[in-house]
Chains A and B, each alone.
Chain A
Amino acid sequence: MSTLDKVLDDYSAKVFKNRKAHLIEIKDDTQEITANARTIPGIMTNRGCCYAGCKGVVLGPLKDVAIITHGPIGCGFYSWGTRRHKGKGDENTQNFLEYCFSTDMQESDIVFGGEKKLRQAIKEVVEIFNPKSVMICSTCPVGLIGDDIHAVAAESEKLYGIKVLAFSCEGYKGVSQSAGHHIANNGLIKNVIGTGNYVPKKYAINILGEYNIGGDGWEISRVLKKIGYDIVSVMTGDGSFEELRNAHVADLNVVQCHRSINYIGEMLKTKYGTSWIKVNFIGVKSTIKSLRNMAKFFGDPELIQRTEEVIVEEIEDIKDDMDYYKEKLMGRTAALFVGGSRSHHYQKLLKDLGMSVVLAGYEFAHRDDYEGREVLPSIKIDADSKNIEELKVEKDEKKFKVYLSEEQYEELKKEIPLDYYEGMMREMDKGSIVVDDLNHYETEEFLKLLKPDIFFSGIKDKFVAQKGGILSRQLHSYDYSGPYAGFKGAVNFAKDIAMGIYTPAWNYTIAPWKTEPTLEGTVGGEA
């Protein structure tokens, strides 16, 4: 029996039929996976909700925005400081990342509606903090009781003369965090991007889908600035409302997390003409490749040369460390189960370290993240996701500009991933396993069957794996370490997993009296 069959075998017929389509053993390039479908009730998914995808992921990192969670206290509380999107304020930029704002809805707000309280909360946040922008994120009950948060936002915007945005990201929308990404993307492109008037310098770029977890974005920016790029905005790690307004003036968008931000990438292209390329700043080889692709896009010999110089300098800095850790980690196996992009990105870094991947999966990615963007036309939006707005943007005649001529574009498209992402499955070896929306049961079973040396997942899985004797490192929070991106990040990552694998405590799991007898027999009363 194959590993997949062994895992599926215990399911009831109905669950078997459903889950079978979400599990694949890699054979060739043409396999199709089912993804972005509703979660089976009671299966113990790792998934979160639409609110988490909108407020927690995309909007939360915007440091100078006062984000008010409109709902009972939980949603605001749980997303307060728990995702490590770092940000730093300065004299011109407020930093709200240490705060949690909520309307803390009570029973009477459910009964009589919460609009009045929301209006008052906006008034109070403006009076106390005077923020650049206020954003409102709705939670489950808001949609049900019919609070019109968009009307309240429009009214407040007029009243206070600052941008007030509303996001209808009720937790039950869509099937996962993914719907929330889409809703946040739509709101930002409609209301924020394109309203600034920054004059870009040479090599102006935006970094899309980089949330600065543990300082990742800072490490990436350090290298890019050293090469000479003008980073107009980062979406949204250490990002700001002010920066975001200018995003339309960049010449190129580089996309790190495809899942959460590809909507903005596409809409920027349609509306303002900006091309995007898929990059991956996780892993040494992939960082180098990404830097070279970016330089190729601009095609400027000076930039290309500077890129190569920086690569040489950076490699020189980390070479000894990487060699050391590679020797420690060579031949180890890993399983990865992360949200919607890291399960792919980290495979490159693991390869740099001589490790192989036996299983990888996403919580909430779509088929294009697994199979590549060419499958987009064949993806059918099912009933559970059809109410997520597909925003149609039009060309902005005044602000539209293209960096490459049509011929240059077509020529370059053959060499670099322009407006394209190849997906995770192409990265993976034959015989390895892909799982979409992995659940607790499957986690336990796969760990038993595949016995990876390390399981990369999140906080809910971590101690499950470790109780069973398998090291688990979190690839959401980086176990409070990082950065893991870029050159220096690669060393941090390697050091952290080597530390985990070589922790002496693993050798003490079994008490000595479980393996050795403690009662020694005596003969004739003599010891």
Chain B
Amino acid sequence: MLDLTPKEVSERKALRINPSKTCQPVGAMYAALGVHKCMPHSHGSQGCCSFHRMYLTRHFKEPAIASSSSFTEGASVFGGGSNLRTAAKNIFDIYDPDIIAVHTTCLSETIGDDLGSILQSITVPEGKYMVHTNTPSYVGSHVTGFSNMVTGFIKYLSVSTGVSNGKINIIPGFTNPGDMREIKRILKLLKTEFTMLPDTSGVLDAPMTGTYDMYPKGGTKIEDIIKLGDSDLTLALGDFASEQGASQLEKKCCVPYKTYMLPIGIQGTDDFVMELSKFSKNEVPYELEEERGQLVDIIVDSHPYLHGKKVAIYGDPDTVLGLTRFALELGMIPKYVITGTPGTAFETSAKELFDKFKVEGCTAKAAADLFELHQWLKNDKVDLLLGGTHGKYIARAEDIPFVRVGFPIIDRYVHSYMPMVGYKGAMRLLELMLNALMDRQDRDCADEDMEMVM
């Protein structure tokens, strides 16, 4: 497995090997699927659209709809305006969405299609909408694309009437439907009126009913996106995925915002709950307090299996930072922490966490890749590996216990229904991590050392 990866680390300036990121449009497509009756549209050649749908489908094991402008060579040279106009007509005629959310690819970005003007030249049917965002694949990563699409919805749709609706807006970051459900559950427990954008729960975890529904029940409603401008506060969960949208809403509609890390682990969830309690002026209900106490109880119970264990974490920046803090709360050492998404803020935040928990010798790197991580691991092994599917090759090559978390996970089932956020999500992560470590102990120990009780 990965036999050609040398132990010796050499500096690379140009060659990316085994990336820990993908490109913008898939993030935009995911965000658009979190809007009710929305057709994500990829303005480029159709290969991108098929690849992105394929990846979302493989992660969620669910249909992931989207259309494409299907550029040909002619359009690539002379511009894709007529492709998009034709596409819009066909989409509304055939698939009848309430809104088309257009994103771009490296093709339409390089040729410089002016989406704003093209959209203006399209006659959108009465009561329907069309919005766009620019998602050049050669900037940032899929997380950037998610952030751009959320911002696009706000730019086009949100307005302020000047009358507060008393709600809080939540941008839940690049997380699974299971996480979005958990965040909503906490909001409901705190009796907080809210709008979440985007919300893929009920879309990418829709039930089997025997009838295929192209637009499942879930997704943020268009009228709620419009009303985002009348809310009192926006919580942007995850700087990389969510802050830009919140900031756009502040600019456009004067809704103040606060950013928090994704509510992963104890502190992350505490911060989120405290903020909601302050906002809603409601006391934290016993149900949440009980969950929190259960979580701490389990951590104390199981600490001998976690304490001082070295972990390597890779994936999307907001997720990785949240997981890093949780690992530190568990007394673990996040030896290597990487993301493929560029941005020095990632490294700064990770180092702040290392300092806060007084751990030494840990490395954080943005714009890194799995090849480099593997080389580091060859030189200095860890006890546990946390991240998406692509790490399983490293886990096998180096025989490291492995827990799948984040995006993409294309080789397991159920994961997207289960949260990693909130006290409940932390409990689940903890169970997965303990199982991985303890299964390994059971597998590797001598017969006479096999423990019945652990």
Task: Please list the residues of chain A having a beta carbon within 8 angstroms of any beta carbon in chain B.
Answer: 10-12, 15, 38-52, 68, 71-82, 89, 94-96, 98-107, 109-110, 117-121, 123-125, 127-129, 139-141, 143-145, 170-175, 383-384, 387, 440-441, 444, 459-460, 462-469, 509-510
Contact = CB atoms under 8 A, between A and B. Distances in A.
B163 interface: no
Top 4 nearest A-B pairs (CB, nearest first) are A49-B47, A42-B87, A74-B23, A120-B14
A68 B52 CA distance: 20
B223 interface: no
Interface string B132-153: 0000111101000000000000
B209 interface: yes
Given A106-B139, A463-B62, A42 B91 contact: yes
Nearest to A78: B51
B47 A107 contact: no
A48 B90 contact: no
Contacts of B44: 140, 171
Contacts of A40: 70, 86, 90
A120 B13 contact: yes
A104 B16 contact: yes
14 contacts: A12-B93, A42-B67, A42-B91, A42-B94, A50-B47, A74-B25, A100-B16, A119-B14, A125-B15, A171-B47, A460-B64, A463-B57, A467-B63, A469-B211
Contacts of B53: 460
A509 B19 contact: no
Contacts of A468: 210-212
Contacts, number: 257
A468 B66 CA distance: 19
Interface stretch (B3-11, B186-194, B440-448): B3-11
A165 B179 CA distance: 46
Contacts of B365: none
B47 A48 contact: yes
A141 B51 contact: no
B2 to A, nearest CB: 5
Which of A73, A75, A96 counts the most B-chain CB atoms under 10 A from its CB? A73
A41 B138 CA distance: 24
A128 B16 CA distance: 12
B73 A384 contact: yes
Given A99-B4, A121-B15, A75 B138 contact: no
A42 B69 CA distance: 6
A460 B57 contact: yes
A144 B110 contact: yes
Given A15-B90, A100-B19, A467-B206, A460 B51 contact: no
A110 B14 contact: no
B51 A510 contact: no
A140 B70 CA distance: 12
Contacts of A129: 4
A50 B56 CA distance: 21
A463 B413 CA distance: 14
B68 interface: yes
B72 A175 contact: yes
B75 interface: yes
Interface string B54-91: 11011001111111111111111000000110111111
B40 to A, nearest CB: 11
Given A42-B86, A73-B23, 12 more contacts: A41-B90, A71-B106, A74-B26, A74-B137, A99-B371, A103-B14, A127-B10, A128-B6, A175-B72, A440-B95, A444-B214, A463-B57
B95 A44 contact: yes
A139 B71 CA distance: 13
A459 B54 contact: yes
Nearest to A127: B10
Interface in B73-130: 73-76, 83-84, 86-91, 93-95, 105-107, 109-111
Contacts of B136: 72, 107, 110
A139 B106 contact: yes
Given A51-B47, A73-B137, A95-B3, A42 B89 contact: yes
A31 B282 CA distance: 72
A140 B58 CA distance: 24
A99 B106 CA distance: 23
B39 to A, nearest CB: 9
B1 interface: yes
B111 A82 contact: no
Given A48-B51, A101-B15, A140 B45 contact: yes
A171 B61 contact: no
A510 B208 CA distance: 9
A76 B15 CA distance: 12
Contacts of A79: 51
Contacts of B298: none
B106 A140 contact: yes
A78 B90 contact: no
A257 to B, nearest CB: 19
A141 B110 contact: yes
B393 interface: yes
A168 to B, nearest CB: 11
Contacts of B70: 38-43, 45, 47
Given A74-B25, A95-B4, A441-B95, A41 B68 contact: yes
Contact of B210 (A12, A43, A89, A510): A510
Contact of A41 (B6, B83, B212): B83
B21 interface: yes
Contacts of A50: 47
A120 B14 CA distance: 6
Which of B95, B106, B208 counts the most A-chain CB atoms under 10 A from its CB? B106
B63 A171 contact: no
Contacts of B58: 82, 459
Contacts of A143: 76
B51 A74 contact: yes
Contacts of B274: none
B141 A73 contact: yes
A441 B63 CA distance: 14
A68 B16 CA distance: 9
Contacts of A52: 47, 50-51
Given A99-B4, A128-B6, A171 B23 contact: no
A102 B16 contact: yes
A89 B67 contact: no
Contacts of B358: none
B314 to A, nearest CB: 14
A387 B1 CA distance: 41
Nearest to A511: B209
Contact of B4 (A94, A119, A145): A94
B160 interface: no
Given A40-B70, A74-B137, A89-B3, A98 B393 contact: yes
Nearest to B207: A467
Which of A139, A140, A459, A509 counts the most B-chain CB atoms under 10 A from its CB? A140
B203 to A, nearest CB: 12
Contacts of B1: 98
A71 B110 CA distance: 12
Given A45-B70, A125-B15, A140 B22 contact: no
A468 B212 CA distance: 5
